[in-house]
Amino acid sequence: MRRSTRPFGTSSPGSSAKDASVLSAAAYAAPQARVRARRSGLLTDAAWRGLLEATSSGELATAFEATPYASDVVGDEVGIEHALISRVAQGGHALLRSLQGRPRDLVAWYLRRFDLDNLKTVLRTIHHHQDRERARALLLRFEGSTLDWEALLDAGSIAVLIDRLRATPYARPLELALERYQEEQLPFYLEVSLDLAFFQRLVRLTERLGGTDRRQTERLLGFWIATRNLLWAYRYRVYARMSPEEIVNYTLHRAYAVDVAAVRRVATGAPISEEARRVGVDIPAELAPRDALARFETLARRALFARAQSSFRGWLFHLGAVLAYLVLLETEVRDLITVVEGKAQGLAATELASRLIREVPGVRA
């Protein structure tokens, strides 16, 4: 078989038509229909312009009224962010029912990152002895979760929390880091152990897919995992000033374009522009590390967004469409959060537009 000479994850979505079959069409008919229909419900450029150009809270509220998110943008900024991100969790869960087999396993696990976010909230609440009511309000609404959040919030200590998670895949990673956490009293160790276990399993589930499903998943999730890994490595180096050996231990070793060799290069001082270029993201070499990191994060999100948009070209019936829709939805929600925060700070429409992941043409200042 001839091997592709394209760089990582850049195969065009239409190139997989050879794998297309009536079977995949039958398997993905319903999810594809749902995805296409839901995608048509994402905000239009006009709706985005309306939001960006609103000059008062009243105008912003009116602009939101014309979107499906009107009921989410009430209350304080934290509440709004929480409600909007919960939309992604619910959207993903709604699509899950139409999937079967390994693709379903993968998407179900991918959605468990909302469980992970909630678990981190619980960990921090217990560690800092924070108010449970406040934590309860911060938990994302995720119907796919099978955890008893009330019982977890009531755990009182991390050891009891782990005990209550015994029958779940989260207990073991937490247990591995428990002693280190108890010694240093830093929830970071618990969180990093959870993250590593989550992403390692996500990679394994991706590898269990075959054909177009696998290629499309690698193209989207593989890119996302790789850029996350790169971001972790740089954050550990730039913000936490960790040693190379710690950076290598706290990152993924098999994350597609960002493997252990890449992590080592980052750990030993490789500039971010160089590593970013390897995953297909160009940032100027002259930027200071912290600025470069922020720039990379934004550009990586934009690159993922572009990949997701292009997934809707060519052969339709594969898992990529489902994942791409989830990326688009999450991008939309993240951009909406940026709009809400930016408006609160009084940013001008053009300034705000430049901070979004998506492009909004024709925005007036």
Residue with tokens 């990673």: 173
Residues 39-58 that bind other proteins (CB under 8 A): 40-41
Task: Closer to other proteins by CB, 1 or 261: give it.
Answer: 261
Q: Find how far residue 222's CA is from the centre of its chain.
A: 12
Tell me the Ramachandran region of residue 168: left when phi exceeds 0, alpha when psi lies from -120 to 50, beta otherwise: beta
The residue from 10, 12, 21, 33 that contacts other proteins (CB under 8 A) is 33
User: Is 253 near other proteins (CB under 8 A)?
Assistant: yes
Smallest distance from the beta carbon of 96 to other proteins, in angstroms? 14
User: Is 180 near other proteins (CB under 8 A)?
Assistant: yes
Residue with tokens 């594969």: 318
The residue from 245, 274, 282, 359 that contacts other proteins (CB under 8 A) is 245
Smallest distance from the beta carbon of 238 to other proteins, in angstroms? 17
| 114: DSSP letter | H
The residue from 17, 26, 46, 137 that contacts other proteins (CB under 8 A) is 26
Residue type, 85: I
Smallest distance from the beta carbon of 168 to other proteins, in angstroms? 14
Would you say 258 and 281 are in contact if contact means Cβ atoms under 8 Å apart? Answer: no
User: Is 179 near other proteins (CB under 8 A)?
Assistant: yes
The residue range among 31-39, 70-78, 298-306, 334-342 that interacts with other proteins, by the rule CB under 8 A, is: 31-39
Q: Of 228, 223, 220, whose CA–CA distance to 195 is shortest?
A: 228
- 167: helix, coil or strand? coil
Q: Find how far residue 176's CA is from the centre of its chain.
A: 25
The residue range among 28-36, 49-57, 87-95, 223-231 that interacts with other proteins, by the rule CB under 8 A, is: 28-36
| 221: DSSP letter | I
The residue from 6, 36, 166, 208 that contacts other proteins (CB under 8 A) is 36
How far, in Å, are 56, 306, 349, 350, 354 from residue 359 at the CA level? 22, 10, 12, 11, 8
User: Is 229 near other proteins (CB under 8 A)?
Assistant: no
The residue from 144, 244, 271, 314 that contacts other proteins (CB under 8 A) is 244
Smallest distance from the beta carbon of 240 to other proteins, in angstroms? 12
Could you tell me where the DSSP H helices lie in the chain?
22-39, 45-53, 57-65, 77-96, 101-111, 113-127, 132-138, 149-153, 158-164, 171-184, 188-207, 211-217, 223-238, 244-249, 260-267, 272-278, 289-310, 319-344, 349-355
The CB density around residue 40, as the number of other CB atoms within 10 Å, is 8
Task: Closer to other proteins by CB, 52 or 155: give it.
Answer: 155
Using CB under 8 A as the criterion, what x/- string covers residues 139-178 for binding other proteins?
---------------x-x---x-----------x---xx-
Q: In 104-128, which positions are buried (b, 16+ CB within 10 angstroms) versus exposed (e)?
A: bebbebbbbbbbbebbebbbebbbe
Task: Closer to other proteins by CB, 35 or 51: give it.
Answer: 35
Task: Closer to other proteins by CB, 22 or 365: give it.
Answer: 22
User: Is 30 near other proteins (CB under 8 A)?
Assistant: yes
Task: Closer to other proteins by CB, 230 or 349: give it.
Answer: 230
Task: Closer to other proteins by CB, 16 or 193: give it.
Answer: 193
| Residues near other proteins, by CB under 8 A | 26, 29-30, 32-34, 36-38, 40-41, 154, 156, 160, 172, 176-177, 179-180, 189, 193, 243-246, 248-250, 253, 260, 264, 268
